[in-house]
Structure 1
Amino acid sequence: MSHPAVPAIRSDASRAIGDPFGRVAPHLAALDRFMHQQAEQFEPEIRDMAAYCLDTSGKRLRPTLVFISGWSGEGVVDEALVRAAGVVEMVHLATLVHDDIMDRAELRRSRPTASRQFGPDAAVLLGDALFSQALHIASQFPTTEVCRLVSASTRRVCSGEIMQTLRRRDLNVSLAEYRRMIDLKTAELFRVSCYLGASLSAQATGFAEAADRFGHHLGIAYQIYDDLADFLGEEKKIGKTLGTDLATGKLTLPLMLLLERVPADERAAIIKSLREGGTPGLAASKQRMHELGIAAAVKQTIDDELATALAALAPHASLPAVPLMSQLAGILQQQVAGLPSAPISR
């Protein structure tokens, strides 16, 4: 799987339509302090390794979803939201450690992955340690709800990982199965982040469920964007290894459409290459996606998911959290529009 590590949603585009990241800056600063404190909880022998994975340079998108869905006004930093955001982010970081091992990725956030830095054997155990610490924090809430929700979400994310791992180089994956996998592996943490923020801040009746639906569809849109960026993005801008989906035989929406639209002989050649553990080539695939209008079709799918996400918020438009959530969806729309539909000349 390729969890979203695409061009940061937080970008210059955000200033044009409102910056939800800027609004929650005090919350993110509190989260950074919290994550530094958590690194100190690990055993001295692996503390530096944990700190490397808990580095604060990432986008913090899932914590931002917790904060904006629980938004109650400027300057109000709720400790419970900070801890919940820390739990979700730690689960996410653990999945990234494991993803990069399976993808044989070299870069994450413009620096060596944990697997490259410490070796894959140590990295897989380090990911396990991060999962365990996240659930330990969740267990410290006054009620069992946070631990129950996060542990179930962690299981679902891992289930999505397992499904995709077992279907590598399986070219019979249906669109429904693809959506099921991204439901589990990516949309699940988006969903639970929004639900936790809304429920912990005791928003209006029914808003937690609406935030849940918003997060679910935003997460699907984001993963499909990540899948498209794996083909069309620029590695220097994105800060991670690209082409891993193609190289590891993951059947994502862009590749599914490519196989559907190319002539039979070309399809057979691509299938043969993927099944033999090769790759038809990232540059050639980019060119064909442009020629066959695949990028435009995938972008439309993303826009449809974002429209469904925003529709879930419509009945609660008067709540202070909703404008920030809508702005975040708008930023992703701009990022999608900014992906090149044609290969970049060099």
Structure 2
Amino acid sequence: MLNKKLLFSVAFACFIAAAHAQVTDTATHKTAVDTTVKAVSLTLDTLKYDSLMLNVANGDRSGRWPVKKAPYPLPGAVLPFNRIVAYYGNMYSKNMGVLGEYPPKIMISKLQAEVKAWEAADPNTPVVPALHYICVTAQAYAGKNGLHNLRMPFNQIDKVLDMAKPINALVFLDFQVGFSTVQQEIPPIEKYLQMSNVNVGIDPEFSMKEGSVPGKRIGTFDAADINFVSDYLAQIVRKYNLPPKILVVHRFTERMVTNYKNIKLHPEVQIVMDMDGWGGPDLKKGTYKYFISQQPVQFTGFKLFYKNDIKNPPKRMLTKQELLNLKPVPMYIQYQ
């Protein structure tokens, strides 16, 4: 039975989703997931990488894409050799995303169907499935530590890893820090980051630097916050001799990410700026244009909401072909 604090967290998680304007055995897991990254090789094919990055730019004539400051990644990089299709959510809430909405077998089946649909839409790009799990959720309740967040128990992360294993899926551990910081919240999961298929997502919406309760205002991360996470992941990659990690940063307003030009890039880390807002096709494409495409970092992502995107006319989600027509083409697709 869930305790009162956890029951509250689940209830508030439902509120957050509705208001969104837009271990067991670590060694065993590590052994089992070392084959998940499809692009692993001893060397990086730089000619193929350059060619694929031009394909990602998709005829962009602004000069922003592909990003010129980006270094070549270490061998084993997932992007741009593959597209990632992820299911997002938290297993304590059916309203925070599709990952927790359905029983695991049904959820995995739906994810695999989306993977096949993306492979059909873009046959030249292999698709890697992913589970994007919110492991620290923002809370209206301050909690004993006063940080307005709740860390999920490790046994829940273990369950996500177990679900990912049979389909060779990547796993993203996502952080809604509340009154806390990425500097405080991310290091405690280092044992999971030692695994080759485990990556990180951070959500500026729930980084409440100005002191508002999560859900009352949209939060913010600065380039310095993103650089801390990227630097930390780069150290993990070097320490454990891993393929590059992927860092997903959610964004749907200008203020959510400040000083984007100061974001540092590493061969050990691939950064995805993910268009996270919900709404109709035109609104979402506009958000992508102004806050993702026109403020280039490295790679781009796009979130689709099975429910919120169809609330208002024209009551439809963007099609896969519409996303493939964007400049640049998003290489990370997330479903909530």
Query: What TM-score, normalized to structure 1?
Result: 0.28
Rg larger for: 1
- Which structure carries more relative contact order (alpha carbon 8 Å, separation 6+)? 1
Higher share in helix: 1
TM-score (norm 2): 0.29
